[in-house]
């Protein structure tokens, strides 16, 4: 790498910035021979015709909004019609909200960055699940925080582990700023925090004055099992709720939102004004037109059917092509399978071999603050590739895993 003549000018936080391991794969994924099970894309072909119709309606002045230029600047706090429609959408999760409480963002990812901006000072402590969403780790770590993982099991975050973590933090004379959770179909694990544990987690956080960041991108993509209430539906205190239309409509539209207590929302608004002035009025109007179209439930039914078939194909292929030691928990929704392999395997080191064989995945290390964790795990996406691609991709990956396992065992013998 060439010497950087500007290195003495950067802020201290720039030295701690790291790239996403998922984004680093994108240039490789453009190769036609590579089957990607790595990203978190949705199958936008399902709603592409809806998007075209909504775009045409907005540009002709027949969309769900009135007034305002879709191609000009907009208000920093978002298109009013969209905010109202997002309240209706959240009501499906039992969340009561008013439009003035909502701040549209450029995807939920921008909301994470803005939260880091207004809450995090260098050295602050932030808690997450283990494993946790790589984009959140990246956003918060850019503000030079210390991140600690709290243990999870098949029912999600373990209440006792959270109690113990908070007691340990208090014994150090410190306080955590917040805990970041993806409680429903977590990325990457696919685990859902059980209904029984949700009030327990809220109570623990309330008693310890710990703010909850609830990131909820996948709740609408449930294809089996009983729904569980959003944390924000159980209380309107001490929770900042993040939503996105990336999994409902289109990730490329970059429409997310924050539902926050009024003082927090105002500070987030100021931070957003400094970041981008406003989110695109055009994409907000397109999204509002779709939400008002009456087709959302119809399209979600298709999404759920397609994704369930692909999940089942991936799970069956895991059984067929991988060593019997490979383990996963079958999620009832979402986009991902989290696979654990024998401890002798290092999925980050194995990725190069997999790419040579034309198959991509995300190593487990991407989802932990400490890069020594998650070495023998990997995340696989089933929402974007076709059934045929999943079958072939899992065959290729299973062969790589089998070969690497046999090699490791032969070296140990």
Q: What is the pLDDT of residues 167-203, one digit of tens each?
A: 999 999 999 999 999 999 999 999 999 999 999 999 9
Instruction: State mean pLDDT over 43-67.
Output: 90
User: Phi, psi at residue 265, to the nearest 5°?
Assistant: -60, -40
Examine the domain organization and report whether 191 and 323 are in the same domain: no
- Tokens 């207590």 correspond to 261
Total domains, the chain: 2
CB neighbours of residue 191 within 10 Å: 24
Is the distance from CB of 390 to CB of 317 less than 8 angstroms?
yes
Q: What local confidence, expressed as pLDDT, does residue 37 receive?
A: 95
Examine the domain organization and report whether 280 and 301 are in the same domain: no
Is the distance from CB of 126 to CB of 176 less than 8 angstroms?
yes
What CATH number does residue 382 fall under? 3.90.1150.10
Per-residue pLDDT at 259 exceeds 80? yes
Examine the domain organization and report whether 89 and 190 are in the same domain: yes
Q: What is the pLDDT of residues 391-406, one digit of tens each?
A: 999 999 999 999 999 9
Does a structural domain hold residue 308?
A: yes
Rounded distance between C-alpha atoms, residue 248 and residue 250, angstroms: 7
CB neighbours of residue 388 within 10 Å: 10
Q: What local confidence, expressed as pLDDT, does residue 373 receive?
A: 93
Which of the two residues, 243 and 3, has the higher pLDDT score?
Answer: 243
The two tokens of residue 388 are 């045929």
Rounded distance between C-alpha atoms, residue 165 and residue 60, angstroms: 55
Instruction: State mean pLDDT over 270-287.
Output: 96
Does a structural domain hold residue 58?
A: no
Q: What local confidence, expressed as pLDDT, does residue 19 receive?
A: 60
Does a structural domain hold residue 156?
A: yes
Examine the domain organization and report whether 352 and 369 are in the same domain: yes
Domain boundary among 291, 319, 335: 291
Q: What is the pLDDT of residues 77-123, one digit of tens each?
A: 999 999 999 999 999 999 999 999 999 999 999 999 999 999 999 99
Is the distance from CB of 147 to CB of 168 less than 8 angstroms?
no
Give the 3-state secondary structure of residue 379. Answer: strand
Is the distance from CB of 245 to CB of 359 less than 8 angstroms?
no
Does a structural domain hold residue 240?
A: yes
Residue numbers of the domain that contains 161: 64-291
Instruction: State mean pLDDT over 118-140.
Output: 96
Which residues are within 8 A (CB) of 324 and not within 5 positions of it... i.e. 6 or more apart? none
CB neighbours of residue 346 within 10 Å: 16
Using a 10 angstrom Cβ sphere, with 0-12 exposed, 13-18 middle and 19 or more buried, the burial of residue 320 is: exposed
Q: What local confidence, expressed as pLDDT, does residue 371 receive?
A: 82
Examine the domain organization and report whether 204 and 223 are in the same domain: yes
Is the distance from CB of 143 to CB of 122 less than 8 angstroms?
yes
Q: Which helix (H) or strand (E) holds 181?
A: strand 176-181
Q: What local confidence, expressed as pLDDT, does residue 29 receive?
A: 61
Per-residue pLDDT at 24 exceeds 90? no
Count of alpha carbons within 13 Å of 390, Cβ hemisphere only? 24
What's the pLDDT band for 408 if we cut at 50, 70, 90? confident
Triad 205, 211, 217: Cα angle to 5°? 105
Is the distance from CB of 390 to CB of 382 less than 8 angstroms?
yes
Helices and strands, number each (H, E), in the chain: 14, 15
Four-point Cα dihedral 269, 273, 275, 281, nearest 10: 100
Examine the domain organization and report whether 257 and 155 are in the same domain: yes
Does a structural domain hold residue 20?
A: yes
Domain boundary among 251, 268, 291: 291
Is the distance from CB of 127 to CB of 176 less than 8 angstroms?
yes
Q: What local confidence, expressed as pLDDT, does residue 71 receive?
A: 93
Examine the domain organization and report whether 322 and 255 are in the same domain: no
Count of alpha carbons within 13 Å of 67, Cβ hemisphere only? 6
| Sign, Cα dihedral of 367, 182, 179, 270 | positive
Rounded distance between C-alpha atoms, residue 39 and residue 252, angstroms: 14
Domain boundary among 276, 291, 306: 291
Q: What is the pLDDT of residues 136-179, one digit of tens each?
A: 999 999 999 999 999 999 999 999 999 999 999 999 999 999 99
> For residue 25, what is the DSSP state?
G
What CATH number does residue 280 fall under? 3.40.640.10
Q: What local confidence, expressed as pLDDT, does residue 25 receive?
A: 63
């Amino acid at each position: 790498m060439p010497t950087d003549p500007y290195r003495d000018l950067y802020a201290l936080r720039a030295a701690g910035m790291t790239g996403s391991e998922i984004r680093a794969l994108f240039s490789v994924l453009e190769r036609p021979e590579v089957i990607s099970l790595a990203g978190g894309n949705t199958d936008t072909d399902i709603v592409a015709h809806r998007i075209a119709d909504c775009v045409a309606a907005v540009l002709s002045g027949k969309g769900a909004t009135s007034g305002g230029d879709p191609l000009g600047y907009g208000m920093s706090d978002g298109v009013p019609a969209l905010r109202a429609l997002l309240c209706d959408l959240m009501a499906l999760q039992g969340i009561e909200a008013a439009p003035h409480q909502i701040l549209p963002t450029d995807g939920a990812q921008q909301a994470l960055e803005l939260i880091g901006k207004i809450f995090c000072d260098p050295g602050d402590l932030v808690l997450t699940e283990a494993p946790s969403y790589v984009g959140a780790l990246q956003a918060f770590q850019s503000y030079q925080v210390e991140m600690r993982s709290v243990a999870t099991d098949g029912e999600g975050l373990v209440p006792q582990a959270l109690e113990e973590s908070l007691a340990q933090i208090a014994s150090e004379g410190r306080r955590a700023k917040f805990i970041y959770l993806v409680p429903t179909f977590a990325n990457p694990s696919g685990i859902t925090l059980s209904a029984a544990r949700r009030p327990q987690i809220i109570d623990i956080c309330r008693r310890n004055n710990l703010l909850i960041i609830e990131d909820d991108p996948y709740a609408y993509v449930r294809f089996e099992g009983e729904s569980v209430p959003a944390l924000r539906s159980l209380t309107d205190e001490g929770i900042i709720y993040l939503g996105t239309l990336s999994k409902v409509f289109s990730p490329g539209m970059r429409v997310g939102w924050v539902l926050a207590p009024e003082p927090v929302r105002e500070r987030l608004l100021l931070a957003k004004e400094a970041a981008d002035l406003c989110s695109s009025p055009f994409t907000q109007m397109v999204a509002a037109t779709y939400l008002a179209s009456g087709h959302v439930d119809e399209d979600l039914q298709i999404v759920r059917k397609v994704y369930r078939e692909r999940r089942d194909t991936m799970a069956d292929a895991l059984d067929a092509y991988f060593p019997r030691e490979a383990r996963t928990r079958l999620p009832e929704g979402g986009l991902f399978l989290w696979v654990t392999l024998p401890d002798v395997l290092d999925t980050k080191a194995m990725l190069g071999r997999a790419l040579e064989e034309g198959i991509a995945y995300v190593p487990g290390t991407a989802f932990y603050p400490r890069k020594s964790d998650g070495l023998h795990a990997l995340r696989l996406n089933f929402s974007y590739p076709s059934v045929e691609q999943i079958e072939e991709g899992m065959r290729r990956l299973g062969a790589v895993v089998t070969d690497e396992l046999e090699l490791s065992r032969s070296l140990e013998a």
